[in-house]
Structure 1
Amino acid sequence: MAIKEDVETGNNSVGVEAREPLIRKERNATDEATGSHKWMVYFSTFVAVCGSYEFGNCVGYSSPTQTAIREDLSLSLGEYSVFGSIVTFGAMIGAITCGHIADFVGRKWALRISTAFCVAGWLAIYFAEGVWALYIGRLATGYGMGVFSYVVPVYVAEIAPKDLRGALTTMNQVMICSGVSVSFIIGTVLSWRALALTGLIPCAILIFGLFFIPESPRWLAKIGREKEFEAALQILNGKDADISAEAAEIQEYIETLQKLPKARMLDLFQRRYLRSVTIGVGLMVFQQFGGINGICFYVSNIFEEAGFSSTIGTITYAILQVVVTALSSTVIDRAGRKPLLLVSATGLVLGCVLTGLSFFLKVHDWAVSAAPILAVTGILLYIGSFSAGMGAVPWVIMSEVFPINIKGVAGSLATLVNWIGAWAVSYTFNYLMTWSSYGVFLVYGAINVLAIVFIVVLVPETKGRTLEEIQASSNA
């Protein structure tokens, strides 16, 4: 009981006496181990983020295929809206189960399970002759997305050294954007069935790559597989690296956490966890309700309604998001998480205002020639801003702030909230555009203003700190 109370207050002798010297040792060990010894970290990250690329394929599939699928299978707008948005229902189911799966069978097996669902889903879509096969396939790929969206950033954060963790975890979003962009671009030349088959390529890389990368050392330590924990840590750091200090700190921190009761969903609202849960879940709320999935799923139609070439606009959009996300991954460990979030959210507000203004002018037949230019500028500013921060950084922070003893259940909650928002936005977007083509963007803009306030008040800076330091301070 004393240990539990001490951990809650953040003033315990375990935390003060054990954590600080171990943190100093871990810093030295990490500094010595970086560089050429980190090739396995990079390779493991590459394999894991193929799941993120698959995620992007699933998200990007509905936009370039909308007209062709509706014509070939005679779908109504409502039926296609269900097809476009049902992926988020699957993702919600994935979100509910992903934390438990990742905690029970490990990060690697969670990735395997997710991959299997995606393979089954793409095959169902490819062979579909009616709406129900499309729905089943889309639901299955959605489940895979939901698991990938949690497990990939968590796995990467748990294997990466602190000085590379931000950049490597951001690769999650880089690959999501790449998957979306490639789907957008090749979807203009491939049939919708052929495009579905391209979703099997990252799945194949994952299936084979997972045989060659180690399990998360932190997960192995948590379940008491000490020899495998040390072996995985050694593989990631290089065979000549001294891992004793890093291993000691991880073990010490996990031993302290395991003295606490096993976390349940209701436990997340206890005082010692409330701040980290509020941060992780709150960022997911603002990421989704700021409008990204409505714009992403139906960007081709947005350009068409604004009077601009959907092909040129979509390809420009696709390239821009990859370039900006890749650039942000190179600066996140130097500029920090919070500044990127603030710059990103500000750009989202401006993008929404410009796009809303373009539709306002079009509706009232004012400055008709300027409307398409404003729409394209607004959408490109929006996606560039989202890619710079709000796309990747919430997942980075989520993977950092949750203590490992609640990471499964808290991660499931945050991912579930994310996908509920994604469904709500993607399903309602077409109907909101019918209600008011400019009003919907002003609503998204107002939500992004609230996001700026939330970031300023609650979100901490986590760059340059170990996971154990971040989690200890979040729960202090």
Structure 2
Amino acid sequence: MDIQNERRRLLDAEGGDEDPTGLMSEQDAYLSKVNNKKLYLATFASVLGPMSFGFVLGYSSPAIPELTRIADPRLRLDDVQASWFGSIVTLGAAAGGLLGGWMVGKIGRKLSLMFCSLPFVFGFTIIIAAQNVWMLYLGRVLTGVASGVTSLVVPLYISEMAHERVRGTLGSCVQLMVVLGIMGVYLAGLFLDWRWLAICSSIPPTLLMVCMCFMPETPRFLLSQGKRREAEEALRFLRGPDAPVEWECARIEDACEEQCSGFQMSDLKDPGVYKPLVIGIMLMIFQQMTGINAIMFYAETIFEQAHFKDSDLASVIVGLIQVVFTGVAALIMDRAGRKVLLLISGVAMAISTTAFGVYFYLESQVPHSTTSLSLASSEVAHSNLAWLALASMAVFITGFALGWGPIPWLVMSEIFPVKVRGVASAVCVLTNWSMAFIVTKTFQDMMTLLTSAGTFWLFASMCIVNVIFTIAFIPETKGKTLEQIEASFRGISGP
């Protein structure tokens, strides 16, 4: 076979001894013939979905200040309505996660991704045409449903297409495109009103629908449906004409024969199912308990409270920092590994949220006076403290972007066996968006009850728990095939 001859050639060239198992050498020989160009193309088409829900997540930040001041009383939001407008999208996303878990098993990853572009476009269309607050809510719920489906389907689609050498990098592109979408909507919000911003936000999901028409279904899903010929064609598209895809197809098929019988409740007794499921759920809980969505949803409000005159511009700077360091994480993911980046990320966020709490505490101690001399002194003190807020936000976003932003979604797409992948991913997505709703909806209440300083110190304590959890329970999946990761949870020593 070509793969055997190529393996021998590589071993001779390296002066190495024959690997007794032969698998790693066969993998190296196979991957040496792989061309990734069309894999990158398929990844780009799919991550237009995460870019779309980045627009959804970021839309509320520039839109809420405008909608609270709008002249039309039918559309004007009070504080409670603004809170719902920012957070209701997460309820739609939680429902979308459940819907996506059903869709990926029934119609596949590709069609699920294509269909989820429809509620994106319909939702933004309803917002554009809104005549009352309830239409705004409906539009946000629909875009939330689409976001939930996308956040489940795209990581699965990429992890099942990509091989182990680039899976971490390509999987990190999901979060990279989310933050690009957030930054894009922040930037557009500097120049566009809320209706034109909604029009702009409907462009990425439209492109998603068109581009995905030309991309293949994942080989693993096709093999789970008994479509061997279509799976080989998909692999040939993704790996290039020179790769002997029959070898990879046979390897995946062997795993599918054992694991594609369909999910049943009795499977929860299997350590290969319940261990990754618990890890996936806890990753999603801890990601949201860092406070990231509360901070991003209310970025402009936070900067206004921090006495920044150009709070909208500060939000764009935050978005830019997030894009840059998510890009850095994507580049180093397959070299540094998942666990190291999670640890660095957790420590950075713990330090920054502690500092943010210190800022709000010191700011509350600055005397507010109406006399001209005291007022000038107070303004200088606020200005000096404002830089602490900006630095804390920058460190937090940097830390989140390096680890706890992209990695939970990446690990979720890697650790579940084929037969429970849809159901288990749906549970994780439901957990993530439910926690996002709880945190964002109660954020203002926490700021009132615990004070601003106490709220950020609570987030800091959760970041410390994140670090402990990572050290104790998170497995390293760098450089492993999906089949090897699955075997490790079962206690089977993989080759």
TM-score by length of 1: 0.92
Residue in 1 that maps onto 2:315: 314
Residue in 2 that maps onto 1:391: 405
Aligned residues: CA RMSD:
1.6
Alignment of 1:205-284 (within 5 A): 205-258=207-260, 262-264=262-264, 267-268=267-268, 270-284=270-284
Offset at residue 30 of structure 1 (A): 2.1
**Greater gyration radius:** 2
Q: Is the 8 A contact 2:307 2:382 kept in 1?
A: no
**Which AA in structure 2 matches 1:232?**
A
> How many residue pairs were aligned?
453
Residue in 2 that maps onto 1:342: 343
Alignment of 1:379-458 (within 5 A): 379-435=393-449, 436-458=451-473
Residue in 2 that maps onto 1:45: 43
Residue in 2 that maps onto 1:3: none
**Which AA in structure 2 matches 1:262?**
G
Offset at residue 24 of structure 1 (A): 4.8
Alignment of 1:107-186 (within 5 A): 107-186=109-188
- Of 185, 188, 191, the match for 1:189: 191
Q: Is the 8 A contact 1:276 1:475 kept in 2?
A: no
Do the aligned partners of residues 266 and 255 (structure 1) sit closer, same or farther apart at CA in structure 2, a change above 3 Å counting?
closer
Q: Which moved more, 1:72-81 or 1:443-452?
A: 72-81
**Which AA in structure 1 matches 2:439?**
V
Percent identity, please.
37
In 2, the alpha carbon distance for the partners of 1:458 and 1:184 equals 36
**Which AA in structure 2 matches 1:45?**
T
Offset at residue 271 of structure 1 (A): 3.3
Alignment of 1:28-67 (within 5 A): 28-33=29-34, 37-67=35-65
Q: 1:68-88: per-residue Cα shift (whole Å, max 9, x none)?
A: 112222211101111111100
In 1, the alpha carbon distance for the partners of 2:212 and 2:237 equals 14
Residue in 1 that maps onto 2:376: none
Q: 1:7-38: per-residue Cα shift (whole Å, max 9, x none)?
A: xxxxxxxxxxxxx65565344212321xxx21
Do the aligned partners of residues 156 and 272 (structure 1) sit closer, same or farther apart at CA in structure 2, a change above 3 Å counting?
closer
Residue in 2 that maps onto 1:465: 480
In 1, the alpha carbon distance for the partners of 2:324 and 2:405 equals 13
TM-score by length of 2: 0.89
Q: Is the 8 A contact 1:358 1:370 kept in 2?
A: no
SS in 2 for 1:449: helix
Offset at residue 193 of structure 1 (A): 0.3
**Which AA in structure 1 matches 2:476?**
E
Q: Is the 8 A contact 2:326 2:401 kept in 1?
A: yes
**Which AA in structure 1 matches 2:68?**
R
In 1, the alpha carbon distance for the partners of 2:220 and 2:200 equals 34
Offset at residue 239 of structure 1 (A): 2.1
**Which AA in structure 1 matches 2:212?**
L
Offset at residue 267 of structure 1 (A): 3.7
Do the aligned partners of residues 264 and 136 (structure 1) sit closer, same or farther apart at CA in structure 2, a change above 3 Å counting?
farther
Q: Which moved more, 1:466-475 or 1:443-452?
A: 466-475
In 2, the alpha carbon distance for the partners of 1:403 and 1:378 equals 39
**Which AA in structure 1 matches 2:174?**
N
In 2, the alpha carbon distance for the partners of 1:331 and 1:301 equals 33
Q: Is the 8 A contact 2:353 2:392 kept in 1?
A: yes
Mapped pair 1:70 → 2:68 = yes
Q: Is the 8 A contact 2:76 2:133 kept in 1?
A: no
Structure 2: 5+ residue stretches without partners: 1-20, 368-380
Mapped pair 1:300 → 2:300 = yes
Q: Is the 8 A contact 1:265 1:410 kept in 2?
A: no
Offset at residue 102 of structure 1 (A): 0.6
Q: 1:359-410: per-residue Cα shift (whole Å, max 9, x none)?
A: 1011121754432111111111111110111000111111111111110110
**Which AA in structure 2 matches 1:301?**
T
Offset at residue 227 of structure 1 (A): 1.2
Offset at residue 315 of structure 1 (A): 1.8
